[in-house]
Structure 1
Amino acid sequence: MKSHARSGTKRTGGRRRNVRKKRKSELGSSPTETRVGDRSLKTVETRGGNTKTRALQTDVANVATDDGVVSATIENVVENDANPNYIRRNIVTRGAVIDTSEGRARVTSRPGQDGQVNAVLVE
């Protein structure tokens, strides 16, 4: 039970039952942990009949350089402030620093939401 939810018991010790089930709008999902590997995408329906493309695995990043945007291959994850375990597991999230064929780059997109990795070179 969530900590901000109503208590499951009354003051008298009796149990509280759910008033209703979850609505479709209240359902959540576990985060998409995009790994480094052969490109694999998944399409998910969202609220309002829209769709999101989730990247389950990817090995390509669009890296912004001084010359323009270059498609680079991702080698591995070097730094990730979101979770130190993500470095070992090679999970790419927004803000992660990745090793690419162009050099080190910081991810500016959300691969689990957008389905692609956009990054900027780190000097």
Structure 2
Amino acid sequence: MRKSIENLAGRKMTGGRKVAMRGRRKFEIDRYPNEAVVGPTQIVARRTRGNNIKAAFKTAEFANVVDKEAKKVTKSKILKVNKNPANRDYERRGVISKGAVIETESGTAVVVSRPGQDGVVNAVLVKAAAAKTS
């Protein structure tokens, strides 16, 4: 895939065709996004510019959930993705990205990290789960 961030060619305001002055540079070439979904944890190492490595989630099982009221961080199991404002298709497929609302064992939380880039799911608790009574 050779899509680029910079729009080298395109259309004029009149609708006429613009011819690119040059081809794409190596640093302008993009790649497929890594879309983390709910499942048993799988991490992929991706080589980035400068020969660095990004640890990216393919599937995520747990999230580090911050409870601001109790001032506590807990490792909670991700149950499902409730909402994803980034993309309606992500919501349907259950993709976890920054800003996604996830259902965890601790309650409903909003993802604040970038799982496809960082390889970790950090979330802030929005609504705590009701205590189960028997």
TM over 0.5: yes
How many pairs align?
A: 115
Moved segments of 4+, more than 6 Å: none
Residue 97 of structure 1 corresponds to which residue in structure 2? 101
Q: 1:68 aligns with which of 69, 72, 75?
A: 72
**Root-mean-square deviation (Å):** 2.4
Kindly report which structure 2 residues correspond to 1:1-123, keeping only aligned pairs within 5 A, or say none. 4-6=7-9, 19-20=22-23, 22-65=24-67, 66-123=70-127
CA contact (8 A) 2:8 2:21 kept: no
CA offsets 1:24-53 (integer angstroms, 9 cap, x no match): 312211111111011111111111121111
Distance 1:97 1:117, change over 3 A: same
Unaligned runs of 5+ in 2: 12-18, 128-134
Deviates more, 1:80-89 or 1:99-108: 80-89
TM-score scaled by structure 1? 0.82
TM-score scaled by structure 2? 0.76
Unaligned runs of 5+ in 1: 9-15
Shift of 1:88: 1.9
The aligned amino acid for 2:32 is: S
